[in-house]
Structure formats: structure tokens, C-alpha cells
Amino acid sequence: MNQGLGTALVTGASAGIGAVYADRLARRGYDLVLVARDEAKLNALAARLISETGVKAEVLRADLADADDLRKVETRLRSDDITMLVNNAGTAVAGPTIEMDPERLEAMIHLNVVVATRLARAVAPGLAQRHRGDIINIASVVAIRGDQPAISVGYGASKAYLLAFSEGLDSELTPYGVRVQAVLPGVTRTDLWEKGGLDINALPQDIVMETSDMVDAALAGFDQGERVTIPALPDVSDWTAFKTARAALLPNISHRLPAERYSRRRADSVSQ
Ligand SMILES: NC(=O)c1ccc[n+]([C@@H]2O[C@H](COP(=O)([O-])OP(=O)(O)OC[C@H]3O[C@@H](n4cnc5c(N)ncnc54)[C@H](OP(=O)(O)O)[C@@H]3O)[C@@H](O)[C@H]2O)c1
């Protein structure tokens, strides 16, 4: 076992953002566990990283939508050598909710929400016990688009869950010396778009980031200790202002009585 940085388990490492994370983490000196369904691609990536960097790279083929495979990955995450989980595997189903195949909608929510939560839940106790380690959750800027959804409402909502889960879990784990970073990429040039039936080349190209730039920026945010990283956001104080506005609501969102505008007395006086 690598006594330095330990081992990072990366889900969705066969392509796109996950494959770049694997590359960058290997170059930093992490040993790797590479998880996805396409074993041939994982084997090719592992062989390249072993020869180029000298780290250990293990392939763990798993369909995370399959309960037995998910348990296999959870078991690997409970090993003592694990110091990082990159919760990256995800999918996007595009289109209006009322036209969406409910089975595909459910499968997306299962992978983006349930699987990511289960994997974080599996790794967190060991990291907390050892007072060491990090969880990186790949969410998306769609998490904060609210009533202006992009790709699909369900996709945005699944990533909003992951952002909320990351922020809350970070509060729980920080006292144990464990950090949780949520990464919110904007449009990133990967196969996710084509798989979702969308043409990335039809988008204005000034909103499309190359995958290597996205991951390098996210890791720069990680190095700076950020809990939420939005790689494209020029001014980080815009995110701080968003959080401050949210926090300002907190003293006033639970009271014994409803707000004055909802009170019966006011309704009666309005109707008179
Ligand atoms: N691209 C963007 O514009 C963008 C923007 C914001 C956020 N994101 C997020 O970034 C993450 C990575 O996406 P990407 O753009 O890199 O997409 P991608 O190129 O389609 O890669 C997705 C990865 O997830 C794996 N995967 C999918 N279903 C899986 C399953 N059931 N079990 C195991 N692995 C599975 C795929 O591997 P196999 O097919 O080999 O299983 C692949 O390695 C996702 O969570 C996505 O929501 C992407």
C-alpha cells in the first residue's frame, strides 16, 4: 500500500471527467481503484497510468445500478487504504418531465442520488475513524438553477440533492478531519451530452469547458480548501453572497405562528 496519499476510488473512471480525475490523482501519487462498467476501457487506463506514473491502479468493474455490484464497491470503500472517494459516475436524461420515460427518470435519480449517497455512506466511517480523507462529489451547476432548469428538471434536482448532501455531510465530517467537496461543473465536453441525446456542438462554444481544464480547476479549488467549487465562476464572492442570502433566512423559517400574511385574521380583514 502507498503510505503517502493512500488510495482514491473513482467512479465513472472509464470516460470523461472521471478518467481525467484518475489521471490527475495518479500524477499526484494516489493509488487508484477505477470503477465503471466498461472493463476494457478501465484496463487500458489502468495500464497507461501504471506505466506513466508508477502508482497502483486496480480495476473494479461494476454496474452501480446493480445492487450486488454496488455492495462490492461499498465493501472496497471500507478498506483501510482508502483515503479518497470521487463520486463521479452519473447520467443525464434530457427533456420535459411530462414526456420523460419514468423508468429512465428513476434510473437517473438512482445513480445520481442513491448510489452517490450509499458510496459516501460506505466510505465515511473509516475516513472519520482514521481522521483522514476526502470525498469529492461531482454535482453540476444545474443544482443551483432553480426554476430555470437545463437538460431536465429531474437531472437538476438530482444534482441539487448532491450539493445539499455534500454541504451537510461536510459539516458532519469536518470535526473528524474529513473534507467533502462538491464540484459544480458547467457544460463540459464529454460524451454525457451525446448519450443524453444532446448536441454539445449546438451550444454557444463560449460556455463549453474542456474536461482537462474543468478537472484541473476543481482540483485547484480542492487544494485551496473549497467545499464548493464552481470551475467557471470568475468571482467567488458571488457564491459567498448566495450562501449569505440563504443563511439570512435561517432565523425566520420556523416559528410558533404562521407569518402575518398567512394569518386568518388578516385573511378575514382582506375579505371584508
Ligand atoms: N459533461 C458535463 O457537461 C457535466 C456537467 C456537470 C456535471 N457533470 C457530471 O459529471 C459526472 C461525469 O460525467 P461525464 O460528463 O464525464 O459523463 P460521461 O463521459 O458519460 O461519463 C460517465 C461515467 O459514468 C460511468 N457510469 C455511467 N453509468 C454507470 C453505472 N451504472 N455504473 C458504473 N458506472 C457508470 C460511465 O462508465 P461506463 O459506461 O463504463 O459504466 C462513465 O465512466 C456526472 O455525474 C455528470 O452528471 C457533467
Q: What is the chain's mean pLDDT, rounded? A: 96
pLDDT band at residue 2 under the 50/70/90 scheme: low
The edge-to-edge listing of strands for the beta sheet with 7-11 is: 57-61, 31-36, 7-11, 82-87, 134-138, 179-183, 228-229
Residue pair 181/166 in contact (Cβ under 8 Å)? The answer is yes
Residue nearest to atom 41 of ligand 1 (CA): 37
Task: Report residue 10 as a C-alpha cell.
Answer: 473513482
Residue 77 has pLDDT above 90, yes or no: yes
Residue with CA closest to ligand 1 atom 23: 12
DSSP state letter for 188: B
CA–centroid distance, 220 to ligand 1, in Å, is 21
Select the more confidently predicted residue: 224 or 268.
Answer: 224
Q: Which pLDDT does position 55 carry in this prediction?
A: 98
Quick check: 244 pLDDT over 70? Answer: yes
* Rounded average pLDDT over 183-210: 96
12 CB near ligand 1 (under 6 Å) = yes
41-57 pLDDT, tens per residue?
A: 999 999 999 999 999 99
Domains of the chain as residue ranges with CATH: 7-237 (3.40.50.720)
Indicate if the pLDDT at residue 242 is higher than 80: yes
Residue among 91, 115, 209 whose CB has most ligand 1 atoms within 8 A, to mutate = 91
Q: Is 155 a catalytic residue?
A: yes
Please check whether residue 149 is in contact with residue 142, taking contact to mean a CB–CB distance below 8 angstroms. Answer: yes
Q: Which residues contact 41 (CB under 8 A, 6 or more apart)?
A: 14, 15, 19
| pLDDT tens digits for range 3-31 | 599 999 999 999 999 999 999 999 999 99
Which residue's CA is the closest to the ligand 1 atom numbered 33? 36
Phi-psi region of 95 (alpha: psi -120 to 50; beta: other; left: phi over 0): left
d(CA 104, CA 110): 10
Per-residue pLDDT, 1? 46
Q: Distance between CA atoms of 242 and 232, rounded to whole angstroms?
A: 16
Name residue, grid cell 455531510: 169
Give the Å distance between the CA of 136 and the centre of ligand 1: 14
Range list of β-strands (E), 70-203:
82-87, 134-138, 179-183
Q: Which of 113, 190, 203 to mutate to test the pocket of ligand 1 (most atoms within 8 A of CB)?
A: 190
**How much is the pLDDT for 205?**
97
Q: Which residue out of 30, 155, 161, 176 is catalytically annotated?
A: 155
Q: What average pLDDT does range 98-114 have in this prediction?
A: 98
> How confident is the model over 150-167, as pLDDT tens digits?
999 999 999 999 999 999
State mean pLDDT over 175-200: 96
